[in-house]
Structure 1
Amino acid sequence: MIRSELVQKIADANPHLGLRDAERVVATILDSITERLAEGGRVELRGFGAFSTRSRAARTGRNPRTGEAVEVEAKRVPHFKPGKELRERLNMD
């Protein structure tokens, strides 16, 4: 599902919301998650999962084209851990 499909699904499920309102809802949610993660925080959506960040140490990598050694800086990367309800729904038979 892409962002526009999510906006359309929200607008269809909530007839009192227009397409622009649904887009604003999606944008607000995603911006809030992004801001919290940028601050180093965690976002937990009960029944769905939790978003957090993980640190990756600096390392020496390789340029795949030339094979030359390249220094890769330390960085934070987003991490998602699915909740119990989501895992159970994915594994229903």
Structure 2
Amino acid sequence: MNKAQLIDAVQEILGGDTSKRAASDALDAVLQAITKAVKKEQVQLIGFGTFKPVSRNGRMGRNPKTKEPVEIKPSKTVRFVASAALKNSL
């Protein structure tokens, strides 16, 4: 499912009088709130899952083409852990 399909699904769930623009704005607001919050702390959506900010340590890697060692710098990323309810629904 891509973003356009998700907007269509949100519009359908909210009802026939909801415009596609309103559904898009609602989805964008939720994504923006999650993005802003996960920079500071984990975001837990009961029944769906948890977005956790994690730090990756620097390490040595290898260029697959030249086989030369390459230093990989430390970085930050987001990890998603699905809730038990979401796992059981599959």
| TM-score (structure 2 length as normaliser) | 0.90
Partner residue, 1:37: 38
Return the offset for 1:16: 2.4
**Residues in 2 aligned to 1:57 and 1:85: alpha-carbon distance in whole angstroms:** 32
Rounded Cα–Cα distance in structure 2 between residues aligned with 1:64 and 1:34: 33
Q: Name the CA distance, whole Å, in 1 between partners of 2:74 and 2:58.
A: 4
Find the aligned partners of 2:27 and 2:3 in 1 and give their Cα distance.
8
Unpaired segments of 5 or more residues in structure 2? none
Q: Tell whether 2:72 aligns with 1:72.
A: yes
Please report how far the alpha carbon of residue 38 of structure 1 lies from its aligned counterpart in structure 2 after TM superposition.
2.1
**1:18-77 per-position Cα deviation (integer Å, ceiling 9, x unaligned):** 0011111111111111111223x1111101111011211100111112111111111111
Are residues 1:13 and 2:13 paired?
Answer: yes
Q: What secondary structure does 2:81 align onto?
A: strand
- The amino acid that maps onto 2:49 is G
**Structure 1: which 5+ residue stretches go unaligned?**
none
Q: Which residue pairs with 1:84 in the alignment?
A: 84
- What amino acid is aligned across from residue 82 of structure 1 in structure 2? A
Q: d(CA) in 2 for partners of 1:20 and 1:30?
A: 15
Count of matched residue pairs: 89
Structure 1 runs of 4+ aligned residues shifted over 6 Å read: none
Q: CA RMSD in A?
A: 1.1
TM-score with structure 1 setting the length: 0.88
Question: 2:2 is matched with which residue?
Answer: 2
Give secondary structure in 2 for the equivalent of 1:25.
helix
